[in-house]
Structure 1
Amino acid sequence: MYHTKRIAIILPDTLQSSGLQSILTEYFAPVETNCFSTYESFMATGGDIFDYYFTLSETFVLNVDFFLPRKSKTVILSDCPLCGASQSAYTNLLTVRAPLETLIEQIQQLFENDVTNLGTGEGNKELSAREVEVLQLVVKGTINKEIADKLNISLNTVLSHRKNITAKLGIKTVSGLIFYAIMHGIISAEDIDL
């Protein structure tokens, strides 16, 4: 059903590489990750055989000729906690000091943006039955892990549904989703814990 994503992790820090590899394997299967401590060792594989590239800004800048044409599939790891808020249109930033759930959401967004770009036309504005269930739980303040447990789906699937809901409705905030859900009869105002 899904094709295995081939991911190159180009980081000199073994601990960062292993942690990122663990997150990708656990939450985004099926993936095949390869870790490289240097850009040179990465290029020895041919380089172009990967679907995504995770690296540092220094590596990106020093090898801009390779990464720039692949900017939509390149993720730059940032140590700056404020950098994720000012994300550039030309790069995908992953804030390494962010909580795990934030990291997962940032990676999920990268993968879904790539899938969205392959599609044709605008997304369907109508929510599926499962998306409505997820929306009901989101507006009630349920966290992603609890949604996954309640609906017996993976955390990755919950994140996909949330991304699809946001894309279809064009609403990015929980407060906006609450308003939408009340206005469309998906939940009543009494269902919300304020």
Structure 2
Amino acid sequence: MAKNKQIAIILADRLQFYGLDCLLKEYFSPLQIRYFPDMLSLIEKQPDLFDFYFTDAQTFLIYWDYFLPRRNKVIILVDKPDTNLPVTNMISTRSSIETTIELLESVLLAENTSSSTDINNKDLSGREIDVLQQIVRGHTNKEIAEHLNISLNTVLSHRKNITAKLGIKTVSGLTFYAIMNGLISGDEIEL
């Protein structure tokens, strides 16, 4: 790395922070790493100075309005197996060290490309994006068909195409994808 990257780690779990801190320092130094136990601590310490933000999924969803404009710099730690993670900037806390290092390397050493999300969105047609937004809002297939004035079979075809193109099979994965790519805001999601 040419310059010392500024890393903000926003995690309530100190043990996760120490593990991530050790990996980053051992394999990717020189880095400047700052720990924040919550978002309020980050916001009062000049939050725009950082090149990358590591946080958990819950913090990301609560503060999506903060993270969405910085989505290319946000890495979300999730507690699920690393197979079929919905977006490239998610890292499973259950991954092997080798896999975690590879993922960190792809994120930290890559140039900051804001066009990567645009490339992903070009894979989906406009109607598929409409269907995806309806799925994420919590609508059933029948409701989606009614809202978009299309047949139930067309909805099912679009869902199949979305899953095939994105490689995401779960509604939660589709939700993260939609939020990270600016297709939907957190306010539009039914909990």
Task: Normalising by structure 1, report the TM-score.
Answer: 0.55
**Count of residues in correspondence between the two structures:** 115
* Cα RMSD after superposing both structures: 1.9
2:134 corresponds to? none
User: In the alignment, residue 100 of structure 1 is paired with which amino acid?
Assistant: I
Distance (whole Å) between structure 2 residues aligned to residue 72 and residue 115 of structure 1: 7
Q: 1:116 to 1:73 in 2, by over 3 A?
A: closer
Structure 1 unaligned regions, length at least 5 = 119-194
1:116 Cα offset (Å): 6.4
Equivalent residue for 2:45?
Answer: 45
The 5 Å alignment of 1:159-178 reads: none
Question: 1:35 maps to which residue?
Answer: 35
Deviation per CA, 1:48-84: give whole Å up to 9, x if none: 11000000111111111111111111000000104x5
Shift of 1:42: 1.1
Given residue 14 of structure 1, which amino acid in structure 2 is its aligned partner?
R
Question: Does 1:104 pair with 2:79?
Answer: no
Aligned partner of 1:70 in structure 2 is: 70
8 Å Cα contact 2:10/2:53 also seen in 1: yes
Q: Is the 8 A contact 1:77 1:94 kept in 2?
A: yes
Q: 1:43 to 1:115 in 2, by over 3 A?
A: closer
Q: Which has the higher contact order (CA 8 A, sep 6+)?
A: 2
SS at 2:99 equivalent: helix
Q: How does 1:73-152 map to 2 (within 5 A)?
A: 73-82=73-82, 84-88=83-87, 92-114=89-111
Which ranges of structure 2 fall in alignment gaps of 5 or more residues?
116-191
Per-residue deviation, residues 136-158 of structure 1 (Å, max 9, x unmatched): xxxxxxxxxxxxxxxxxxxxxxx
